[in-house]
Amino acid sequence: MAVSDVKKIYQDVIEDVCSAVREALTAEGCDDHTLQELRNLWLERLENSKAVEPPTTSTVDQVTNREYRHPTTGDTNHSSTMNNKHPAGIKSVHSRVQQATNSGVSNFNNYTTATNLNPSLLSSANSIGSQFVRATYSITPTNPSNIGNSTMQTANQLDGAHDEECTKKSKQHRKKKPPIIEISFQLDGTGPPVGDDEDDDEDSDLEGNDVAEDLEDDDDEDGAEEGKEDPNPLCSDDDVSDDEPAELFETENVVVCQYDKISRTKNKWRFILKSGIMNLEGRDYVFSKATGDADW
Amino acid sequence: MSSVYQIYRSTTIGLALDETLHEFGRRQMFTPRIVHYILNIFDYIINEKLSFSSNQDKKSCCLIFKGHLLSYRSCDQVWTLLFDSITLTSTMDSSWKITLIDKKQKVKIIACPTTNPPNRNVFSFQMKPSKRFKSTLEMNLHS
């Protein structure tokens, strides 16, 4: 069976079906006019689908057009003007949508990477701020350590006249909530060392705000930071949702057929198919038998 | 034992018939039973037509394809194969060739196990309206 005989085969099927159901339709009271209308409407819909249109160009041109079109998927306008057919038009629109979505995805990826940077900056800022607060707390009640001294020096430089108020407030709050401070010591132990960074915006919080609240906020932010570091739970990628395969198998090019044999050796597949109807790029083809090889 | 598949209803000609029959049904020209009956007749004829053609071409293979199988699944002996690149050639017509190598333009093959072509006698018997169908018609006429 030649592949180009699809229109003849379809016409034969339509004629056979119409002649086969004539008896039943007559028994129900339908006249030949109804049957003729059924045939005409069926043929009309079939032709409107443009799947059985005879090729406007020769088959050789068709091959060259197809082979030319696919490598240049980016230049869809050119390919659509070359073919000037409905399926090509569909393809061009489809590819444009794909490109748009791809670009959207890339933009989204950029956006996500940009947003991913912010938590790291925030975390470093928070850790610096919390360590600064921790250092100021560690100054007054106990003998300052070496790290405390170095931080104290930077604090003196930045805070200036508010240092005394800070220490007073810190004394008061230390008396009120000493366990929170100890917890903050433990939580901030793994943070980056506070050293030469003098750009501590957090110290402005010490001036007018409640220091304990700051500590609590820092703890919350630290908790949020821990969550941002690992947003996906462990082994979350192992769960495969059922929606993905359904979307994966969605395509406009569908071949419906029967198989004699489908075999596999390692990643080499071999197919022996028969009685198939193919719809490729909006055009129908019929094959009686087909053999194929594929790698997986 | 012969059987027919309904898989060809999803093809262009099958969908065109289905839409036409539903339009007749909306216009109350066909009852649902008639619509079901015509679709069954279509299944028999399209299976017979394709099987008859494949039996005629036993000597020569008509279509050859090579490609990359992206994914596959098999359920109840029905295979669904997804190719992300495929090249089809015909042994009957050397100038005929289709190359689909665009990764975005996949090709899906739905394949059922081969069945024997439908028996002509069974086919002709099935084409006659059943007794139940006749009695329903008579009941409708009397009412």
Query: Residues 95..134 of B with a Cβ closer than 8 Å to A: which?
Result: 95-102, 104-115, 127-129, 133-134
Q: Do B62 and A98 touch (CB under 8 A)?
A: no
Q: What is the pLDDT of residue A18?
A: 93
CB B38 within 8 A of CB A21: yes
Contact A258 B112 (CB under 8 A): yes
Judge if A81 and A115 occupy the same domain. Answer: yes
Averaged pLDDT of chain B:
80
Residues A261 and A215 in one domain: no
Report the alpha-carbon distance of residue A175 to residue A119 in Å, rounded.
Answer: 33
Tell me which chain A residue has its CA closest to the CA of residue B105: A251
pLDDT over 60 at B14, yes or no: yes
pLDDT over 80 (residue A200): no
Nearest-10 Cα torsion for A194, A197, A198, A202: -60
Of B12, B42, B110, the CB nearest to A46: B12
pLDDT value at A16 more than 70: yes
Confirm or reject contact between A22 and chain B (CB < 8 A): no
Asked if A91 is an interface residue toward chain B (Cβ–Cβ < 8 A), one would say: yes
| Residue A246 located in a structural domain | no
Residue B78, chain A, CB below 8 Å: the answer is no
Q: Is the pLDDT of residue A82 over 60?
A: no
Is residue A289, in this structure, part of any structural domain at all? yes
Higher pLDDT, B82 or B130: B82
**Whole-number pLDDT of residue B136:** 42
Q: What is the pLDDT of residue A191?
A: 47
Instruction: Mark whether A41 and A105 lie in a shared domain.
Output: no
| Structure confidence at residue A252 as a pLDDT band (50, 70, 90) | confident
Distance CA B127, CA B13 (A): 20
**A1 with B57: Cβ contact below 8 A:** yes
The bridge status of strand B97-100 relative to strand B107-113 is: unpaired
Strand B97-100 with B63-75, pairing: unpaired
pLDDT of residue B61: 52
Q: Give A95's Cβ-side CA count (13 Å radius).
A: 24
Q: Per-residue pLDDT for B104 more than 90? A: no
Nearest to B49 among A12, A30, A46 (CB): A12
Express as a percent the part of chain B with pLDDT over 90: 49
Residues of chain A with Cβ-Cβ distance to B78 below 8 Å are none
pLDDT at A232: 66
Residue A11 scores a pLDDT above 60: yes
Quote the CA–CA distance of A191 and A129 in Å, as a whole number. Answer: 11
Q: Residues 4 to 33 of B: which have CB under 8 A from any A CB? A: 5, 7-8, 10-13, 15-17, 19-21, 23-24, 29-31
Q: Which of A22-31, B65-74, B124-133 has the lowest mean pLDDT?
A: B124-133
CA-closest candidate to residue A205, choices A179, A238, A172, A170: A170
Task: Name the closest residue on chain A to residue B98, using Cα atoms.
Answer: A63
**Residue A35 at interface with chain B, using a CB cutoff of 8 Å:** no
Looking at the structure, tell me whether residues A110 and A33 fall in a common domain: no
pLDDT at residue B109, as a whole number: 95
Predicted confidence band of residue B67 (pLDDT cuts 50, 70, 90): very high
Give the separation between CA A213 and CA A170, rounded to whole angstroms.
12
Asked if residue A35 and residue A107 are part of one domain, the reply reads: no
The most confident of the ranges A98-112, B33-47, B90-104 is B33-47
Rounded Cα distance between A194 and B24, Å, is 81
Distance from CA of B61 to the nearest CA of A (A): 6
- Of the CA atoms within 13 Å of residue B136, those in its CB half-sphere come to 11
What digits encode the pLDDT tens for the residues A23-48?
A: 888 888 888 899 999 999 999 999 98
Binary contact (A63, B80; C-beta < 8 A):
no
- Window from A50-64, A165-179, B123-137 with minimum mean pLDDT: B123-137
Q: Are residues A279 and A176 in the same domain?
A: no
The reply to whether A140 and A184 lie within a common domain is yes
Domain range for A190 is: 55-229
Q: Which residues contact A296 (CB under 8 A, 6 or more apart)?
A: A264, A267, A268, A269, B68, B69, B72
Residues A18 and A112 in one domain: no
**pLDDT: which is higher, A44 or B131:** A44
Residue A93 CA to chain centroid, in angstroms?
A: 21
Specify the pLDDT at position B137.
Answer: 41
Q: Which residues of A touch B135 (CB under 8 A)?
A: none
Tell if the CB–CB gap between A292 and B67 is shorter than 8 Å.
yes
Q: Report the distance separating Cα A153 and Cα A147, nearest Å.
A: 10
pLDDT (0 to 100) of residue B73: 92
Residue with the larger pLDDT of the pair B107 and A144: B107
Listed by number, the residues of chain B in 45-74 with a beta carbon closer than 8 Å to a beta carbon of chain A are 45-47, 49-51, 53-54, 56-57, 61-73
Q: Residue A265 maps to which CATH number? A: 2.30.18.10
Chain B residue with minimum CA distance to A263: B79
Looking at residue B55, what is its pLDDT?
Answer: 61
Q: How far is B119 from chain A (nearest CA, A)?
A: 15
A291 is a domain residue: yes
Q: Looking at residue A11, which CATH number applies to its domain?
A: 1.10.287.100
Q: Are residues A192 and A290 in the same domain?
A: no
- The predicted pLDDT at position A24 comes to 87
pLDDT greater at residue A6 or residue A151: A6
pLDDT in tens, A273-284: 999 999 998 899
User: Model confidence over A116-148: pLDDT tens digits?
Assistant: 434 444 344 444 444 433 433 333 444 444 444
Interface ipTM: 0.81
CA distance A244 to A256: 22
Query: Domains in chain B and their CATH numbers?
Result: 7-129 (2.30.18.10)
In this predicted structure, what is the pLDDT of residue B125? Answer: 43
Q: What is the mean pLDDT of chain A?
A: 61
Task: Answer yes or no: is A186 within a domain.
Answer: yes
The length of chain A in residues reads 296
* Helices vs strands, H then E, count in chain B: 4, 4
Pair (A201, A82) in one structural domain: yes
Query: Residues A201, A83: one domain?
Result: yes
For range B29-49, the mean pLDDT: 92
Question: Total structural domains in chain A?
Answer: 3
Looking at the fold, whether A265 and A177 belong to one and the same domain comes out as: no
Domain membership of residue A174 (yes or no) is yes
Half-sphere exposure of B138 (CA within 13 A, CB side): 7
pLDDT of residue A239: 61
Question: What is the three-class DSSP state of B89?
Answer: strand
Q: Return the amino acid letter for A203.
A: D
Residues with Cβ < 8 Å from A164, sequence gap 6 or more? none
Is pTM, for the whole model, over 0.90? no
- Using one digit for the tens of pLDDT, what is the confidence trace for B72-96? 999 999 999 999 999 999 888 888 8
